[in-house]
Structure 1
Amino acid sequence: MEILRSSFHGQSVKLDWQHTLKLHKTTTLVLGIETSEDNAKTDSYSSLWGTNNFDEKFARTTGVYLQDQLNLFDAWFSTFGVRVDDHSKFGTEATYRFTTAYLIKQTDTRLKGSYGTGFKAPSLYQLYSSYGSPDLKPDKSIGWDVGVEQGLPFMKTTLGATWFRNEYSQMIDFDMNTYKYNNIAKAHTHGLELTAALQPVDDLTFKVSYTYLETRDDISGKQLVRRPKNKASFDINYSFLKKANVNLGLVYVGTRYANASNTQKMKDYLLVNLAGSYDITKNLQVFGRVDNLFDRQYEEVAGYGTPGIGAYGGVKVSF
């Protein structure tokens, strides 16, 4: 039997600045810069392979971004943004995103869409932990979506539908066969998201969403791991006494494959979460939440447990 011990210690420091310029009643410009530095070290021991330690590693990322928000006639809303990131290991990469929405006021119909690119460098954990791969490449993507939202007078109802597609190159994922992070050379996802919200009375809101997702590793032809075809959520939010709020949320995650060869499936699960808050004064609020209210046992990654029931609370002070 192999004996394996490993530890990973990391730290991240981030600084960002953002400035908003109201150039015109129709145009708002957002500019920003952010920089972050990560450092980490790992120690691991295997009775089969011996000691495998990495000296402390560092990574710095500096990004600048600009976004233009356009509002015409209070009916057409668009944004265009561009971002340039410089990574100490992977160099400089530019990404962009365009979104637009048009409101037909006569019917309370909103048509919307977006198109953009993405870039994600592997983390130090993905590179240098005992599960890491130092030869990982950055994850790059192109994605778009189109959708419609329709308002109805009955109980302030809003219905929505969005069709989306994303294409990836060198997608970073965890391989259960090797227990290492790796790159999937080419993959894509596409699907449909349906939403509904209604407000029978002013203080009570119901929201429901459902997502159907298809995924594919374009090289192997297999489905991507840990991506459920079916996922749904349901929320009830109730405000009362003008100071209190309570939210009950249900999350359903359907079956999905645990491994890249699509030979092992993970069970579906349903989680119930509860949260609430109370404003003691206009500047003082107490809040709390209970996650996984019924202590459901489930896995997000095969073989790795997740927390059971958990309670959290705190105090928020504002000035």
Structure 2
Amino acid sequence: GEGFKAPTLYQLLSFYGNTELEPEESTSYDLGIEKGQRGSGLHLALTGFRRDSDNLIGFGFTAERPSGVYLNTARARAQGVEAEAGIDLLRGLRLAGIYSYVDAEDRTTGLDLARRPNHFGTIYADWASAFGLGLGADLRIVGPSWDNGANTNRLEGYELLDLRASFGIGDNLELFGRVENVFDADYQTVAGYGTAGRSVFGGIRAKM
């Protein structure tokens, strides 16, 4: 596949903008094998991929722009594998997961690209009853990464657990609720920027 992405107006002209940004171009390859169908029965999939990018658009910090600025990485490569599996354990109960290993490199310096963890994945569990109750949980696991292109500022890995529930009322109404970051994990995806703690949501959905 061939890709092309022009800088957005925000990336060019905002407070963090850079009017000298070049368009991003990429060439990608992937090869995979799959058994079954996602969402039912036994499903297995394995995919290998590689993407070479010129002028990759990213966000970083410089001495002249300590608050942050959009920058081009002249030559970058991201390659790795993605594995996926799912199985129906019992009637109405399904367990699935996905794991990715990604090696993302600045090919000019040989250093890792900023904020690209090598390892990340999610485990899903969903149960649906015969009387309209649905329960689910997601466990997201993200490995450590570097916050900057110089690979001097380390971001720690983290785990997040989300829970959700729903209950159908008749044919047109559904009550739902979810709790994100159940254990109120303290984590960062960008150094110095906060992330949401434990959050609770609920409501009702109506279908016509």
Please say whether Structure 1 and Structure 2 have the same fold, judged by a TM-score greater than 0.5: yes
2:84 pairs with 1:195? yes
Cα distance, 1:163 vs. partner?
Answer: 0.3
Letter in 2 for 1:148: I
Measured in 2, the distance between the counterparts of 1:165 and 1:136 equals 24
Give the distance between the partners of 2:203 and 2:167, measured in 1 at CA: 11
More strand by share: 1
Task: Give the counterpart of 2:101 among 212, 221, 233.
Answer: 212
Hey, what's the Cα distance between the residues in 1 that align with 2:8 and 2:184?
31
2:201 maps to 312
**Paired residue secondary structure (2:116):** coil
Alignment partner of 1:125 out of 2, 10, 16: 10
Which consecutive unaligned segments of at least 5 residues does structure 2 have? Answer: none
- How far residue 197 of structure 1 moved from its aligned partner, in angstroms, is 0.6
Counterparts of 1:77-116 in structure 2, within 5 Å, are 116=1
- The amino acid across from 1:147 in the alignment is G
Alignment length (residue pairs): 201
SS in 2 for 1:125: helix
Shift of 1:313: 2.2
Indicate if the aligned counterparts of 1:245 and 1:277 stay in contact, CA closer than 8 A. yes
Report the CA distance between 1:119 and its aligned residue.
2.6
Residues 128-207 of structure 1 aligned to structure 2 (within 5 Å): 128-151=13-36, 156-177=41-62, 178=65, 179-207=68-96
CA deviation string 1:266-302 (max 9, x = no partner): 1010000111222112112222221111111100111
Amino acid at match of 2:106: D
What does residue 174 of structure 2 align with?
285
Residues 124 and 286 of structure 1: is their aligned pair in 2 closer, same or farther, counting only changes over 3 Å?
A: farther
Query: 2: CA distance between counterparts of 1:318 and 1:122?
Result: 39
CA radius of gyration, larger in: 1
SS in 2 for 1:127: helix
In the alignment, which residue of structure 1 is the partner of 2:148? 259
Residue type of the alignment partner of 1:168: S
Cα deviation digits, residues 41-95 of structure 1 (max 9, x gap): xxxxxxxxxxxxxxxxxxxxxxxxxxxxxxxxxxxxxxxxxxxxxxxxxxxxxxx
> How large is the RMSD of aligned CA atoms in angstroms?
1.6
Shift of 1:209: 1.4
Give the fraction of aligned pairs with identical amino acids, expressed as a percent.
36
Distance 1:127 1:314 in 2: 39
Q: 1:286 to 1:124 in 2, by over 3 A?
A: farther
Q: Is the partner of 2:174 in helix, strand or coil?
A: strand
**Post-superposition offset of 1:184:** 0.9
State how far apart, in whole Å, the 1-side matches of 2:4 and 2:182 are.
36
Report the Cα distance in structure 2 between the residues aligned to 1:231 and 1:279, rounded to whole angstroms.
Answer: 33
289 and 118 in structure 1: CA distance in 2 versus 1, 3 angstrom threshold: farther
TM-score by length of 1: 0.60
Q: Is the 8 A contact 1:176 1:258 kept in 2?
A: no
User: Structure 1 regions of 5+ residues with no counterpart?
Assistant: 1-115
Q: Alpha-carbon deviations, 1:163-215, whole Å to 9, x = none?
A: 01111111110113342111111111000111111101220000111111101
Q: Within the alignment, does 1:275 sit opposite 2:160 as a pair?
A: no
Instruction: Pick one of 98, 121, 135 that aligns with 1:246.
Output: 135
- 8 Å CA contact 1:156–1:200 kept in 2: the answer is no
* Structure 2 residue identity aligned to 1:264: N
